[in-house]
Amino acid sequence: MRIRHLAIVTENRERLVKFYTTAFGMKVVEGVGPAIYLSDGYLNLAIIQKRPQYKVGLYHLGFEVENIDALRPILKELGAATEVEKRPQNREAEYRVHDPDGNPIDLSQHGWPA
């Protein structure tokens, strides 16, 4: 079993689509329903426009990245809510940033255990 899908409810769907496609190279893919669906070829991310019955947000998600330093200015330019911050050594991800809606994103150059 493996995670293949995460969903984020947002006040501004297009802003988050631009953030994840530009910063992390995700592609818009065909899907069913009102969400805009993104994929990195393995994991699918559904970006859902907020409705009255939905709470905005997500606990966190994680990306394996090639170069943290190269990503920092891109994240800032795209409206990341925080700077990229170093995580404690007892975490799988070395860094954390928050997307424009404040959702936590773990960033790792060494990856996660399989």
Q: Which residues have CB under 8 Å from 97's CB, separation 6+? A: 75, 80, 82, 83, 84, 85, 104, 105, 107
User: Rounded to an integer, what distance in angstroms lies between the CA atom of residue 64 and that of residue 72?
Assistant: 14
Please, what is the average pLDDT of the chain? 89
In this prediction, residue 114 has a pLDDT band, given cuts at 50, 70 and 90, of: very low
Cα dihedral across residues 72, 73, 75, 79: positive or negative: positive
Pick the CATH number of 5-108 from 2.60.40.10, 3.40.50.620, 3.10.180.10, 3.30.450.20: 3.10.180.10
What is the per-residue pLDDT across 30-53, written as a single tens digit (0 to 9) for each?
887 788 999 999 888 999 999 999
pTM: 0.77
44-49 β-sheet, strand order: 5-10, 44-49, 36-39, 27-29
Confidence of residue 113 (pLDDT cuts 50, 70, 90): low
* Whether the Cβ atoms of residue 68 and residue 109 lie closer than 8 Å to each other: yes
